[in-house]
């Protein structure tokens, strides 16, 4: 199992950023104001499914099968850190070794780069350092190879790429796979990240975590790992993964990591198969004493395209995000809906309905970040060195073996398009929330062929928008693409 199911394992960075307590810096005050100002009655009256505000009732679930292995990750935002989401904040756990004072994308090189180019440096880089995996989940094409894949970046190539990256930023590196612990040089990579002023975290399936491995994680200053659990029982999880015993190994790996002081984030990719089990998986995660619970909305592109039929219809998708908003108020875990940029619209709509403003003081970093950060402050490097806005954005913008990362980040027309929100088309272009949401560019690309087109899985209709959303998916799936 390449346990980056969905994008899930690829995001142990999120709460880490929150713990570090920095501004994402993605939104300007003006952008926040624009999202706040016009979201009156129109925005709040969105046509939710019957489960508005509650658990995603009525969502079908309970099938076996799998969720995709989309490498990399969603940049989605930075979670509510100190202050976090309303209410649940004080009760949220903090886990793992901290790295006080580390500010991704805030170092001297990053500041100099932004001043020189006017472009934000990457703050989070998901790096598929291998596609090899110890498991072979039925749904994951990256799995079941035990040696290096052809063309996989060597240790020297990885070090050279890090050397280049740190000339423009000091990011969080999400080391993912495949199963990153399968790389024999994993600790050398981790140490090199630290030595160069970056922060490595690991996305893992956790089945390889022994006391010895967890001790190494702690010794090599891994502040947090992320682990996917998509079902609350061994029977369902193992069936889903196609790996008998996998659930128990994963749960035990989490317990061991926690015993060694390594923070753990449980990720759940939500599909039709398990949307009615979100609460149960949350409760399992809470019972394991983890630090965060991140739901990931399936993005059926690239390696995940086989799972297209499992994607929630947009209305149910919205209901899950509403559940997250409400449940966060009482959960001790930090939530971060991911691959779901409209969550940042929903925050503002719900806050407005509650008579609140989405301020840093009340909502923490949720107030300061943006839904889709692909190409903006986040990107993905594949196992062979291809650079993408995120793991689901099925377009390679250059290869670090041929061109320095820093040049691709600076010069790619696609990256630069993604940074210019005025280029968004369709209802996203007309939307007052485009600065805080932006829609999923990977879905737009997959379904329309144009990464600047409207997000197909958003039910919101901006005021005054009269255009047809021709590519909006029908119930249970997309209409084209
Ligand atoms: S229309 Fe686009 S920008 Fe507006 S909330 Fe929906 S996905 Fe986000
Ligand atoms: S394009 Fe979609 S999957 Fe990629 S970072 Fe943006 S919201 Fe996430």
User: What pLDDT, on the 0 to 100 scale, is given for residue 464?
Assistant: 82
Q: Is the pLDDT of residue 179 over 50?
A: yes
User: What pLDDT, on the 0 to 100 scale, is given for residue 336?
Assistant: 85
Q: Is the pLDDT of residue 94 over 50?
A: no
User: What pLDDT, on the 0 to 100 scale, is given for residue 63?
Assistant: 28
Cβ(224) – ligand 1 distance below 6 Å:
no
Quickly state the pLDDT bin for 466 (edges 50, 70, 90). Answer: confident
Give whole-number Cα distances, 420 to 53, 116, 372, 426, 456, in Å. 33, 18, 12, 15, 20
Q: Is the pLDDT of residue 302 over 80?
A: no
Average pLDDT over residues 162-171: 98
Cβ(458) – ligand 1 distance below 6 Å:
yes
444 alpha carbon, closest ligand: 2
Quickly state the pLDDT bin for 100 (edges 50, 70, 90). Answer: low
Q: Is the pLDDT of residue 39 over 60?
A: no
Q: Is the pLDDT of residue 103 over 70?
A: yes
Q: Is the pLDDT of residue 32 over 90?
A: no
User: What pLDDT, on the 0 to 100 scale, is given for residue 278?
Assistant: 97
Half-sphere exposure for 284 (CA within 13 Å, toward CB): 24
Residue of minimum CA distance from atom 6 in ligand 2? 372
CB 425 within 8 A of CB 455: no
Higher pLDDT, 334 or 217: 217
Ligand 1 centroid–CA 35 distance in Å is 11
Ligand 2 centroid–CA 184 distance in Å is 30
Across the chain, what does the average pLDDT equal?
79
Average pLDDT over residues 184-200: 98
Residue of minimum CA distance from atom 7 in ligand 2? 440
Q: Any bridge partners for residue 270, and if so which?
A: 297
Higher pLDDT, 320 or 361: 320
Ligand 1 centroid–CA 342 distance in Å is 6
Q: Is the pLDDT of residue 288 over 90?
A: yes
440 alpha carbon, closest ligand: 2
Quickly state the pLDDT bin for 480 (edges 50, 70, 90). Answer: very low
Cβ(370) – ligand 2 distance below 6 Å:
no
Residue of minimum CA distance from atom 7 in ligand 1? 439
372 alpha carbon, closest ligand: 2
Cβ(303) – ligand 1 distance below 6 Å:
no
Average pLDDT over residues 223-227: 96
Cβ(455) – ligand 1 distance below 6 Å:
yes
User: What pLDDT, on the 0 to 100 scale, is given for residue 360?
Assistant: 84
Quickly state the pLDDT bin for 26 (edges 50, 70, 90). Answer: low
Q: Is the pLDDT of residue 223 over 90?
A: yes
Residue of minimum CA distance from atom 1 in ligand 1? 428
Among 12-21, 89-98, 227-236, name the most confident range. 227-236
Ligand 2 centroid–CA 68 distance in Å is 15
421 alpha carbon, closest ligand: 1
Q: Is the pLDDT of residue 261 over 90?
A: yes
Quickly state the pLDDT bin for 233 (edges 50, 70, 90). Answer: very high
User: What pLDDT, on the 0 to 100 scale, is given for residue 169?
Assistant: 98
Q: Which atom of ligand 1 is nearest to the CA of 457?
A: 7
Q: Which atom of ligand 1 is nearest to the CA of 432?
A: 4
Average pLDDT over residues 355-383: 90
Residue of minimum CA distance from atom 5 in ligand 2? 74
Higher pLDDT, 243 or 471: 243
297 alpha carbon, closest ligand: 2
Q: Is the pLDDT of residue 85 over 70?
A: no
Q: How far is it, in rounded angstroms, from Cα 34 to Cα 435?
A: 8
User: What pLDDT, on the 0 to 100 scale, is given for residue 136?
Assistant: 72
Q: Which atom of ligand 2 is nearest to the CA of 443?
A: 2
Q: How far is it, in rounded angstroms, from Cα 402 to Cα 307?
A: 33
Which residue matches tokens 């943006």? 370
User: Using H for helix, E for strand and C for coil, what is the string for the chain?
Assistant: CCCCCCCHHHCCHHHHHHHHCCCCCCCCHHHHHHHHCCCCHHHHCCCCCCCCCCCCCCCCECCCCCCCCCCCCCCCCCCCCCCCCCCHHHHCCCCCCCCCCCCCCCCHHHHHHHHHHCCCCCCEEEEECCCCCCCCCCCCCCCCCCCCCCCCCCHHHHHHHHHHHCCCCCCEEEEECCCHHHCCCHHHHHHHHHHCCCEEEEECCCCCCCHHHHHHHHHCCCCEEEEECCCCCHHHHHHHHCCCCHHHHHHHHHHHHHHCCCEEEEEEEECCCEHHHHHHHHHHHHHCCCCEEEEEECCCCHHHHHHHHHCCCHHHHHHHHHHHHHHHCCCCCEECCECCCCHHHHHHHHHHHCCCCCCHHHHHHHHCCCCCCECCCEEEECCCCEEECCCCCCCCCCECCCCCHHHHHHHCHHHHHHHCHHHCCHHHHHCCCCCCCCCCHHHHHHHHCCCCCCCCCCCCCCCCCCCCCCCCCECCECCCC
At 313-328, the pLDDT tens digits run 999 999 999 999 999 9
Quickly state the pLDDT bin for 33 (edges 50, 70, 90). Answer: low
Higher pLDDT, 289 or 308: 289
Cβ(427) – ligand 1 distance below 6 Å:
yes
Q: Of 374, 391, 373, nearest to 382 (Cα)? A: 391
Cβ(452) – ligand 2 distance below 6 Å:
no
Residue of minimum CA distance from atom 2 in ligand 2? 440
Average pLDDT over residues 288-296: 94
Cβ(104) – ligand 2 distance below 6 Å:
no
User: What pLDDT, on the 0 to 100 scale, is given for residue 135?
Assistant: 82
| Best mutation site among 8, 24, 71, 441 for ligand 2 pocket (most ligand atoms within 8 Å of CB) | 441
| Best mutation site among 345, 450, 457, 472 for ligand 1 pocket (most ligand atoms within 8 Å of CB) | 345
User: What pLDDT, on the 0 to 100 scale, is given for residue 139?
Assistant: 60
Q: How far is it, in rounded angstroms, from Cα 278 to Cα 66?
A: 16
Q: Is the pLDDT of residue 420 over 80?
A: yes
Ligand 1 centroid–CA 378 distance in Å is 19
Cβ(222) – ligand 2 distance below 6 Å:
no
Quickly state the pLDDT bin for 303 (edges 50, 70, 90). Answer: low
At 104-120, the pLDDT tens digits run 999 999 999 999 999 99
Ligand 1 centroid–CA 431 distance in Å is 6
At 373-391, the pLDDT tens digits run 999 999 999 999 999 999 9
Residue 326 CB partners (closer than 8 Å, separation 6+): 53, 54
Cβ(443) – ligand 1 distance below 6 Å:
no
Q: Is the pLDDT of residue 2 over 50?
A: no
Average pLDDT over residues 348-376: 90
User: What pLDDT, on the 0 to 100 scale, is given for residue 59?
Assistant: 26
If phi > 0 it is left, if psi is from -120 to 50 it is alpha, else beta; for residue 47 that is beta
User: What pLDDT, on the 0 to 100 scale, is given for residue 48?
Assistant: 21
Cβ(439) – ligand 1 distance below 6 Å:
yes
Compute the Cα dihedral for 242, 248, 249, 250 and give only its sign: positive
Quickly state the pLDDT bin for 95 (edges 50, 70, 90). Answer: very low
CB 308 within 8 A of CB 300: yes
């Amino acid at each position: 199992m390449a346990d980056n199911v969905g994008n899930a394992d690829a995001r142990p960075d999120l709460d880490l950023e929150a713990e570090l307590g920095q501004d994402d810096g993605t939104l300007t005050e003006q952008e926040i104001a624009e999202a706040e100002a016009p979201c009156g009655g129109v925005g709040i009256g969105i046509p939710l499914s019957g489960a508005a505000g509650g658990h995603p009732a009525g969502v079908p679930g309970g099938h076996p099968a799998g969720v995709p292995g989309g490498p990399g990750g969603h940049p989605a935002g930075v979670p509510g850190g100190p202050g976090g989401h309303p209410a649940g904040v004080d009760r949220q756990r903090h886990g793992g070794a901290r790295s006080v004072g580390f500010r991704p994308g805030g170092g001297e090189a990053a500041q100099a780069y932004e001043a020189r180019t006017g472009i934000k440096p990457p703050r989070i880089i998901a790096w598929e350092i291998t596609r090899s995996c110890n498991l072979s989940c039925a749904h994951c094409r990256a799995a079941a190879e035990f040696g290096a894949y052809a063309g996989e970046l060597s240790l020297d190539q990885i070090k050279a790429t890090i050397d280049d990256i740190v000339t423009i930023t000091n990011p969080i590196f999400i080391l993912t796979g495949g199963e990153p612990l399968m790389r024999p040089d994993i600790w050398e990579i981790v140490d090199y990240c630290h030595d160069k002023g970056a922060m490595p975290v690991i996305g893992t399936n956790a089945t390889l975590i022994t006391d010895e491995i967890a001790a190494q994680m702690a010794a090599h200053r891994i502040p947090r790992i992320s682990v996917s659990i998509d079902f609350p029982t061994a029977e369902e999880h193992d069936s889903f993964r196609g790996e008998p015993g996998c659930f128990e190994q994963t749960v035990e790996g989490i317990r061991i990591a926690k015993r060694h002081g390594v923070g753990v984030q449980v990720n759940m990719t939500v599909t039709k198969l398990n949307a009615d089990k979100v609460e149960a998986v949350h409760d399992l995660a809470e019972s394991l004493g983890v630090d965060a619970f991140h739901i990931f909305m399936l993005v059926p592109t690239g390696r995940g395209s086989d799972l297209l039929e499992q994607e929630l219809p947009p209305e149910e998708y919205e209901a899950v995000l509403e559940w997250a908003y409400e449940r966060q108020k009482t959960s001790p875990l930090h939530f971060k809906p991911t691959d779901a940029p409209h969550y940042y619209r929903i925050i503002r709509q719900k806050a407005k309905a509650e008579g609140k403003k989405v301020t840093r003081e009340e909502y923490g970093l949720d107030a300061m970040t943006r839904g889709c950060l692909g190409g903006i402050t986040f990107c993905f490097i594949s196992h062979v060195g291809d650079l993408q806005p995120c793991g689901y954005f099925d377009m390679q913008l250059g290869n670090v073996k041929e061109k320095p990362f820093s040049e691709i980040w600076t010069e790619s027309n696609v990256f630069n398009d993604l940074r210019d929100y005025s280029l968004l088309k369709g209802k996203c272009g007309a939307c007052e929330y485009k600065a805080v949401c932006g829609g999923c560019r990977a879905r737009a690309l997959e379904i329309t062929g144009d990464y600047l087109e409207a997000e197909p899985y958003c039910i919101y209709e901006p005021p005054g928008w009269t255009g047809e959303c021709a590519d909006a998916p029908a119930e249970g799936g997309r209409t084209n693409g």
